[in-house]
Structure 1
Amino acid sequence: MKGNADGGAQAGKPILTDGRILRGIIDGSFIPAFVIDRDHRVLHWNRALERISGIPAASVVGTNEHWRAFYDKPRPCMADLLVDGALNEIPRWYADKVRESSLLPEAFEAVDFFPALGEGGRWLRFTATLIRDDRGGIAGAVETLEDITEQKLAEEALRESQQRLYQILEGSPIPTFVIDRDHQVIFWNRALEALSRIRADDIVGTDEHWRAFYAQKRPCMADLIIDRKPHEIRRWYEGKGAPSKLLKEAFEATDFFPDLGQGGRWLRFTAAAIRNSQGALVGAVETLEDITEQRKAETSLQESEQRLHSILQGSTIPTFVIGRDHRVLFWNRALEELSRIPAKEVVGTNQQWRAFYGGERPCMADLLVDGDIRELARWYRGKYSKSKLLKDAFEAVDFFPSLADGTWVRFTATVIRNARGEVLGALETLEDITERKRSEIALKKAHDELEQRVEERTVDLLQFSESLKREIVERKEAEQKLRKRERELKRKTRSLQEVNTAMKVLLDQREQDRREVEEMILNNVRELLAPYLERLKKTKLNEAQMAHVRVLETNLDNIVSPFLKNLHSKHLNLTPKETRVASLIKEGRTTKEIAALLGMSVAAVEFHRNNLRKKLGLRNKKANLVSHLASM
């Protein structure tokens, strides 16, 4: 009996020792934990759980009220369900929040929010596992808890941030797409759907974003950034793009996409790398801006500026234009001739004054650019007036001794404004009125002399009795002068006739020059083009290429032959296409051959044939069109 008693004591001792070890491990752990026995009574409630629950161990150990730490009314914790072996009840109490532990046998883990825990509630990740005795029987259960509130709040903030970013990108009017590290599209906003006419549902999850921009597969700029291939960016976008000045690891470019929309679109696009918080490359974003209308406007502006440049350059009126900074932007040929200063010497400088003055001083255009109208009176006192024809314009007449051999000029300056009414510069035109001014001066001088003579004659009549005789004599002298003047007029008339004769000679010379130019063109065609056409015909050409060569040879023959000249001189209302069709008909080409050569339908060729017959007067007649054209 004694031996059995001792044996029982020895058998129970390890269990007691194990209990003390378990208590020490749990109490010393920083992980909140509690242990219940087979009767659901709390055996251990460590200090970490005291802190998180606000319930001291002394008030809960030995009771089955551990639920108080987590819920506002009695209900089983997960440890309770395991002790009871009620695994089928776990889904009831924890629904979609629980799963079997992948690390521990006979253990379950879950994540849930406990509004009664702490201030404002806490998110906990908790794991419950069975405790078995030496015989394998259920002795109780241990449940550990991990406060993941901060993690949950961070995840929620991240989701909200991602949602906000998604809404911003989705609602943005800027077409945008995002690809991941594997070049798969993860975002394609509505603006890009509208631009590309490709729905996000058809493209997200694929690597076919190239379809929106190109006819065949090739990398977009975002792909090249993902692959870290800057040299490939230069290859694909040579002369069209460069590293972004605003964004790091970003490139931007401008290009025309003929397959985008109707007639193609001009896009300015920027691609940038996307990195995570650790700096790892996780994707790329590419934004696009449709600048088609802007490019069209720029082209129209360039064409308009070119037309204006041509008009001013070809004008016989001396003209110059200055910018807001008083630098010369334009100096036409007429002004070059008047001022004897080449445009290249003044364009880009503020030395327009050199043409008119001996020292530096403002021209009228300079004063208008500065908006300093009061200074006009200082520099042009008694010589200027406001233009009656142009707004913001003034005109003046002045003598410029340094211009040519001294020149009288009427000049007009007007402000140039942009669409917003802002001053961009000024334009000044000049008119050489030297001859007119000299005539006016001579006329005034003669008028003054005549008045003086009349006054003298009046005094003579009062002072001398014989003044009448002298006046008669003077009148006779005046008549002689008048006859002399008439003779001078006749002499000038003869001079004008001689000038007309000289003009006729010049016109005859111009006609002769024209014939020489035509002969020169004929010789150039025969000597410079015909030999190369002969060499080209001897090369290995396919039938279509040879046909085009023959057409080229025929057209060159027509150029140097009188056919096209006769055709246009007699029928000036032929269109260019009708002229080309007529040339090919004259060669004996069939309707199908002409259609193939000119890239038009057979019906179109027939339409041009009918128009030719009508314009040549062959409609409803039996005359052969080929023969008629050959006779020309």
Structure 2
Amino acid sequence: MNDKYIKHRQPLRAKAEACIARAPEIEQPAAQELLHELQVHQIELEMQHEELCQAQTALEASRDRYLRLYDFAPVGYITLAEDESIIEANLTCAKLLGVDRTKLINRRFAHFVAAEDSDRWHRYYRQAMQQGGKQSVELALRHTGGAVWHAQLDCRPMETLHSPVLMGIILTDITERKRADQALRIAAVAFETQAGILVTDADKTTLRVNRAFSRITGYSAEAACGRKPSFLHSGLHNEDFYRAIWASVKHHGYWQGEIWDKGKNGEVFPLWSTIAAVADDEGHITHYVGSFTEITAQKQAEKILFDTRDRLENQVAHTQMELEKFKQESALVNTALDVLLKYRETDKSEAQNQLSHEIERTVIPFLTRLKGAAIDENQGRLIDILEINLRHLVKSYGRAENLPAVYQQLTPVEIQVASLVRQGLATKLIAKTLNLSPGTVSIHRKHIRKKLELKGKASNLHSYLLSLYE
């Protein structure tokens, strides 16, 4: 027996001897001594057995604790063979991969790697097996349901005496971290927009500003941080204005409107500003975020528009005055024209009467004498036509006539034929008067109807020509 065993056995022997001492004595010395030794060994064995049972119970409890820690750890534990096949995995790993743990065994881990990372996984695994030591890699893995998630793999080769090299892997779900990183990158880009941005704590002390803020105000981040935003006040707004802003932020969570601020160089400029409150899960305000854009160009454009509007309104008012004046003058002119037209109608009527009287006195008597001296019937008819046309001219003196306009479309012979048709002469009589054949007169009548757009026999040429004088 080695020294460690003897040292461990001594207290057990002492306890066994104490038990024997309390037992009844045996009379024979040799037998008593032998029995004593046997009893001591028996008690020692019983006590060793009890200690071994306690140690086994403790080991089993420790093993159970380890298994619980192993299976329900917040990360996945997986062991791979050299050919990437799965030898062992905890429950967390099975849940992450979406497969029952019993069905994971002997499956190749590459089956769960997304296609875009497949080649990178194979290269990484060979390198990790060759180089040894702890290696880490981030991969896109595919859940059995098809969803892709991101994992960090911390790998370490494990050498054993009686088996090939195994690979122990800690599998951590970093999907949310990836999303958070992406959100932070987007937020960082959004923070550096063309709009100026200022972030304060709950006490309104400036914590951070972006480059646009420095460009617009002239204050660097170092000069602005640690100060209250009131260092930008222009002096154009009173305290009631700022109290109303913060009352809106408190009540609605934000304020938006136009404000005038002052830059580092003392220049005052207009801004379109938004102030928003940031609250935690319990509703307590933790930060304020202000964003603004300079609207100097917009204000200048508005001024130009307002000036143009005022100028146009003045021009419209002046034009309306001119129109009203012109309207009054037009009314006077119309009144004068009405008077002149009345005088004109009077003069025209008087002139018509005078012309009619003069023709009746100087012309008609001669026509009457000619008619009496006519040699034949034809000459008398011509004189009658002359008298009728002359009387018509006198009657239509000073009136607008449609007949001359119609006659402009006709030839001289067609005008003569139309004039006789209007007086009611028949075709044969017209032919005899004009020394034409009846057929020629009929042709002229057709031409006249066509030029006057009289279609069909229902349209009477005689009636139409008479209507032009009505």
Higher relative contact order (CA 8 A, sep 6+): 2
Instruction: Note whether the superposition's TM-score is higher than 0.5.
Output: no
TM-score scaled to structure 2, two decimals? 0.44
TM-score scaled to structure 1, two decimals? 0.34
